[in-house]
A and B are shown apart, each in its own frame.
Chain A
Amino acid sequence: MLVAVAIFVGPFLYAALSSFKQTPELNGVVKDFLPRSAYTGNYTNLFNDSNFPIYLVNSFVVAIATTAICLVVAILAGYALARFKFAGNRLLLLSIVNMQMFPAVLMAVPLYKILRHLHMLNSRTGLVLVYVTFALPFCIWMMRNYFLTVPIETEEAALIDGCSRFTAMWRVALPPALPGVAAAGAFCIVQVWDEFLYANTFIDSDNKRTLSVGLNSLIGQYTTDWGQLLAGGVLMTIPVVIIFAFLQRYLTQIAGGGVKG
């Protein structure tokens, strides 16, 4: 167990420690394992001298917009796939499973053309639209599997009592499936937070970049300010770790979302 912890966590601890080091320590001129003093200059430089705060805001905006759209659409679609019998249900399911396997790079060319056509290149709205495509299939798949685990009997009772189908879904089937919603939402946020390929391709101006592209662009061709970069990496990681800490008990369900049903 300890070995596993060291392997999986060690590099992060070292990087986090290093983000408090000064340049000579980072370049290996001074060879100390721990930082000599808690130097916070890397963090203040990051906020004062780089566009990091802008990237941060952009990432938040894009992640929240994408997740909100995905969840609403996925709840409806997942419910329909889990509950209704209709022609094409299995075919639809098969396509959704297959969509999870879509190479992002296959989509990059046509999406570039479409965004260019819609004049949405270099726009955050365009990016949200694109992100919905890759996050939605997974969210639908997860919501369907969650709705399948909710017993149908209570809903039938609600329907007999005169509830409309939508009310039955909203008030009866959805609450027990809320862990699924939270898990799908978290997964969505994390994916958007992490996404690099599209953000790198479709966004040109520095002030519209998201964190992943922005941070990567700070890695210089010849000289790299590792201190600032590591500080940025630490800050970019914190929200994701918080989300996962909250979702700890749903974790196996997130990953196992596809196993169920």
Chain B
Amino acid sequence: MALTDVKQAAERSPAAPDKGRPRRRRAHALQSWLYLAPALVLLLGILGYPVINALWTSLNHSVLTNPDGDRFTGLANYRAIFADSAFYSALWHTVLWAAANLFFQIVLGMALALLMHQKLKGRAFFRSIVIIPWVVPSVVVALIWRYLLDPTSGPINQALVALGISHNPPLWLANESTAMPVVIALSVWKWTPFVAVILLAGLQSIPEELYEAATIDGAGAVKRLRYVILPNIRTSLALASLLTIGYSVNNFNGIWLFTQGGPIGATETLTTLAYRKAFSTFDLGGAAAVAVVLFAGLFIVSTAYFFAVEGRKGKRL
């Protein structure tokens, strides 16, 4: 439907290159909006409006089980979450979670990307197989690891006992002190291949001659990494970092499917806290307030990225 509209409109209006006469240029602008119309309608309707709705909900007392009972309460929800120790605990877990994911994924992703870039036999096979954790659905990843890490019947603990390494093996996801490190490790395991693929794209864009020149000049592996590779994949690194921060902060599955934020809130991040508030305690207003705080933080990071990377390239459009 939308497609035929655009098609007809496109056929009616004259084909106008960029430097047309004023009348043509107006037709041109109109046409570009026609191409964008379906996207804009969808994005405004189901993305723009909900954001405003979320902001509004965060200023209201709103309970899931009482659809018509919303009433305006100003900043009460924000005051409530800022007075709640569970919020600060979740905030700290979010920062820890994002920082650990960022650090390990970039470092290990870089190492993996360099491995994938090596000219060795079986490289194509290697490349296609190491990305498996990223490709496999999160639910499947969760169930496999929950099986492997099951405290009693799981193969890992069975092996630890059988090999005599430990008589009282850790409870992994079920223990307050081990749960967070384990979910972080699993998240790094799942997302490192993704980071590696982004960085690999950067590596592939470095001209071969640069390596050769550096090698001839006597640069060793470390120096090549420092002076040839890293400066040339800055954009890839920036993108990978941005995506890693965004994806990990918003990563609900990576925690919920393993621990649901537990045990006793040990892995609760702002994301799981907001979800729990909305759909377990039915406090939509409070949930919206937590989500808005979370989004504000991400918005700042992502806008900074846009101006740092996209802005620098200047006019292209």
Q: Are B29 and A84 in contact (CB under 8 A)?
A: yes
Q: Identify A8's interface contact among B2, B133, B250, B306, CB under 8 A.
A: B133
Complex: how many Å from CA A259 to CA B198? 8
Cβ–Cβ contact A252 & B57, under 8 A: no
Complex contact A230–B143 (CB within 8 A): yes
Max chain B Cβ within 10 angstroms of own Cβ: one of A90, A104, A148, A156:
A104
Contact A76 B294 (CB under 8 A): no
Inter-chain contact B39/A101, CB cutoff 8 Å: no
Cross-chain contact A12 with B317 (CB below 8 angstroms): no
Q: B246 CB to closest chain A CB, in angstroms?
A: 4
Question: Is B54 located at the chain interface by the 8 A CB criterion?
Answer: yes
Q: Are A237 and B143 in contact (CB under 8 A)?
A: no
B137 with A193: CB separation less than 8 A: yes
Name A98-150 residues within 8 Å CB distance of B: 98-114, 116, 129-130, 132-133, 136-137, 140, 148
> Are A11 and B50 in contact, with the CB atoms below 8 A?
no
| Residue in B13, B57, B197 with the greatest tally of chain A CB atoms within 10 Å | B197
Establish whether residues A31 and B275, one from each chain, have CB atoms under 8 Å apart when the complex forms.
no
What B residues does A74 contact at CB under 8 A?
39
Q: Closest Cβ of chain B: how far from A221's Cβ, in Å?
A: 12
- Whether A259 touches B236, Cβ cut-off 8 Å, given contacts A100-B246, A110-B57, A219-B146, is yes
B38 pairs with A76, CB closer than 8 A: yes
Interface residues of chain B: helix, strand, loop or mixed (majority): helix
Does any Cβ of B come within 8 Å of A248's Cβ?
Answer: yes
Stretch at the interface among A35-43, A44-52, A159-167, A174-182: A159-167
Which residues of the other chain, B, contact A213 by a CB distance below 8 angstroms? 139
A65 at the interface (CB under 8 A from B): no
Q: Using a CB-CB cutoff of 8 Å, which residues 47-99 of chain B contact chain A?
A: 47, 49-51, 53-54, 57, 64, 67
Distance between Cα atoms of A104 and B17 in the complex (Å):
40
A interface footprint on B146-167 (CB within 8 Å = 1, 0 otherwise): 1110001111001000100000
Q: How far is the CB of B12 from chain A (nearest CB, A)?
A: 9
Number of A residues near B (Cβ < 8 Å) is: 103
Contact A111 B6, CB 8 Å, known A4-B112, A216-B142, A216-B257:
no
Verify if A60 is at the interface (C-beta below 8 Å from B). no
In the bound complex, what is the Cα–Cα distance between A28 and B200 (angstroms)?
41
Closest to A113 in B: B53
Known A97-B302, A196-B257; judge A73-B38 contact (CB<8 A). yes
Q: Which one, B47, B132, B287, contacts A99 given CB within 8 A?
A: B47
Q: Are B140 and A215 in contact (CB under 8 A)?
A: yes
CA distance A229 to B18 in the complex (A): 58
A248 is contacted by which of B6, B43, B112, B128 (Cβ under 8 Å)?
A: B128
B64: chain A residues within 8 A (beta carbon): 112
Chain B residue nearest to A13 (CB atoms) is: B132
B66 → A minimal CB distance (Å): 12
Interface residues in A147-201 (C-beta closer than 8 Å to B):
148, 156, 159, 162-168, 190, 193-194, 196-197, 201
Closest CB in chain B relative to A183 CB, distance in Å: 12
> In whole angstroms, what is the CA distance A26 to B10 when docked?
62
Complex Cα distance, B67 from A92, in Å, reads 33
Q: Is the CB of B46 within 8 A of A197?
A: no
User: Does B202 sit within 8 A of A, measured CB to CB?
Assistant: yes
**Given the interface contacts A107-B54, A197-B252, does A14 sit within 8 Å of B148 by beta carbon?**
yes
Closest A residue to B200 using CB positions: A252
- Of the candidates A84, A92, A103, A216, the one whose C-beta lies within 8 Å of that of B250 is A103
Q: How far is the CB of A15 from chain B (nearest CB, A)?
A: 4
Assembled-state Cα–Cα distance A261/B295 (Å): 27
Residues 108-141 (chain B) with a chain A CB within 8 angstroms: 112, 115, 118, 120, 122, 124, 126-133, 135-140
Chain A residue at minimal CB-CB distance from B9: A166
> Beyond A193-B137, A248-B128, is A106–B51 a contact (Cβ under 8 Å)?
yes
Contacts known (A31-B162, A110-B57); A98 close to B303, Cβ less than 8 A: yes
Q: Does A53 contact B (CB under 8 A)?
A: no
A156 proximity list for chain B (CB < 8 A): 17
Bound-complex Cα distance A81 to B126 (A): 37
Asked if A99 contacts B131 (CB within 8 A), the reply is no
B189 touches A7 (CB 8 A): yes
By the criterion CB–CB under 8 Å, are A256 and B145 in contact? no
Ordered by A's residue number, 17 sampled pairs between the chains whose C-beta atoms are within 8 Å are A5-B126, A31-B162, A77-B40, A82-B317, A97-B302, A98-B306, A103-B249, A105-B294, A133-B47, A166-B6, A196-B256, A211-B139, A230-B147, A236-B137, A236-B139, A237-B137, A240-B136
Q: Which 10 A-B pairs have the closest CB atoms?
A: A84-B32, A256-B201, A166-B10, A77-B39, A110-B50, A80-B35, A110-B53, A106-B291, A252-B201, A233-B140
Tell me the B residues contacting A by CB distance below 8 Å: 2-3, 6-7, 10-11, 13, 15-18, 28-29, 31-33, 35-36, 38-40, 42-43, 46-47, 49-51, 53-54, 57, 64, 67, 112, 115, 118, 120, 122, 124, 126-133, 135-140, 142-148, 152-155, 158, 162, 189, 193-194, 197-198, 200-202, 204, 235-236, 239, 243, 246, 249-250, 252-253, 256-257, 271, 274-275, 278-279, 284, 287-288, 291-292, 294-295, 298-299, 301-303, 305-306, 310, 316-317
